[in-house]
Amino acid sequence: MKIQPHIIRIVSLILMYSVSFTCSAEIKYPSKPIRMVQSSPSGGSSDALSREISNRLSLRLSQPVVIDNRPGGGGIIAGEITAKSQPDGYTLLFTGTHHSVLPSLHPNLAFHVINDFTPISIVAMTTSILVVNPNLPVKTVKDLIALAKLKPGQINYSAGATGGTAQLGAELLKAMAGVSIIHVPYRGGAAQLTALLSGEVQMSFTTMPATLPHIKSHRLRPVAVAGLERSKVLPDVPTVAESGLPGFDIRSWNGILGPHHLPPAILNRLNTEIVGIVSEPEFKARISANGADPTASSPQEFGNHIRNESQKWAKVVKFANIKPD
């Protein structure tokens, strides 16, 4: 059947205007404020980081990027809001390591932590640090393990969130060292740190930004850095791995995701701007001074990281029989 020339011209015009409209819509992004759902409460180090990112992203996109704190459920509330949002780039999720632990704690989640999101970029990696109250007579990991074996069940550790890095780090230490230390749960990182400072508990894995001031004032004693490399801000403190537990690695991540099916043009724009922010000398200096490592990634690298973290922590959660609150 021969197609009439005028029909071909009409179809060509429709396709041309369709492409033109699509490109125009993509170029106009963003044309209104963007909501960045934060899975942590306001006032913490994660919240401060998200606001640092959002302020700089607002300038780059010429639209407000508004933080919407939605803590609860260890990240479930914020995750569900984002997963059910339109994939138009106007709802983003700022989250962290707890996102990759959720499947291990909640097998019946209303969303899939990988399949229902579009990874955009990691923004920072933060190494945890093993610290003790100065009244505990240990200075090294070997000292701690020896004391824990001498007094099984008599050393307590604080953790501010079920399945958070504080609990996961301590449980990984228990598994690798074969010791018995007792978990004492608290509501939030501030309470976790307060308990350690007051002597209610003897040890904890804490985040570097929150702990550095107390280390400098000698209210807490650093025992070991929980990452694979020593910290630039505490170069004399060894890692747990080099202190007798090879392979020990507890680093928390923060990153930004969108809903599944985020259009490629919007994804590329957001990734480009976020990578640019993380590369800014001023941003790097501010974040590094607090003990975090500015870290950008491609969407594919971020997705692989979440997948690997989920598999890693699933083993620890199963070993320690960690249950959600």
Query: Which domains can be identified in the chain, with CATH numbers?
Result: 26-126+252-320 (3.40.190.150), 127-243 (3.40.190.10)
User: pLDDT digits over 49-82, tens only?
Assistant: 999 999 999 999 999 999 999 988 889 999 999 9
Confidence class for position 325, pLDDT limits 50, 70, 90: confident
Structure tokens at 272: 């480009």
Rounded CA separation 174/203 (Å):
13
Which pLDDT value is given to residue 324?
85
Single-letter amino acid code for the residue at 325: D
Confidence class for position 29, pLDDT limits 50, 70, 90: very high
Least Cα distance to 139 among 197, 75, 224, 196 occurs for 224
Contact in structure between 246 and 306 (CB atoms under 8 Å): no
Task: Kindly state the average pLDDT of the residues 208-228.
Answer: 94
In this prediction the pTM is 0.83
DSSP states along 153-220: T--EEEESSTTSHHHHHHHHHHHHHT---EEEE-SSHHHHHHHHHHTSSSEEEEEHHHHHHHHHTTSS
Instruction: Give rounded-to-5 percent helix, strand, coil for the chain.
Output: 45, 20, 35
Whether the pLDDT of residue 17 is over 60: the answer is: no
CA triplet 308, 311, 317: central angle to 5 degrees?
A: 135
Place of tokens 């300038």: 59
Whether the pLDDT of residue 281 is over 70: the answer is: yes
Whether the pLDDT of residue 25 is over 70: the answer is: no
Structure tokens at 46: 């994660």
Confidence class for position 4, pLDDT limits 50, 70, 90: low
Rounded CA separation 111/35 (Å):
20
Rounded CA separation 181/173 (Å):
9
